Amino acid sequence: MSQNDTDHALQSASLPPLQMEETEVEGLRQVYVELIGFVPPRIQARTDLLARLDPELLTMQEAIRLKAMYPSCFDTKTAQLMLFGMLLMTLADAARLHAIAARRAGADWEELSAVVNLAFLFRGLPAANLGAQIIQSIAEAEA
């Protein structure tokens, strides 16, 4: 068991038990794995907590997320590029996750850079710096 798994087990020990099947929770998380290749820690925490305390809300959140994240009028790459740009505008760390998702959906470096440049127009150098850092970190991870 890794240190992260041990820490997670200790945190969960004092919480109520799961109120939904572990396979159902893993099914909800699988969508994230398919999109970005892993389940981000915040998503892991939210799905674990709500699977214990409010599984109905968790199911509702994920249904709404799926509906909004995959509009029929955009392909996944376009939606993820847009989300990358929106999150760059707020300098949110989740911008990295949507850049990864855009890349996995077929976005090339030029497209990611163009999104960063658009964010720069209205958010300035902080967005340009964060966007460049994100793109370079993804490139390094892919190398």
Cα separation, 120 vs 141, in Å, equals 24
DSSP label of 106: T
Binned at pLDDT 50, 70 and 90, residue 109 comes out as: very high
Boundaries of every domain in the chain: 3-69, 76-142
Cα separation, 13 vs 30, in Å, equals 24
What pTM does this model have? 0.87
Q: What is the pLDDT of residues 67-86, one digit of tens each?
A: 999 999 999 999 999 999 99
C-beta of residue 98 within 8 angstroms of C-beta of residue 62: no
Cα separation, 77 vs 90, in Å, equals 20
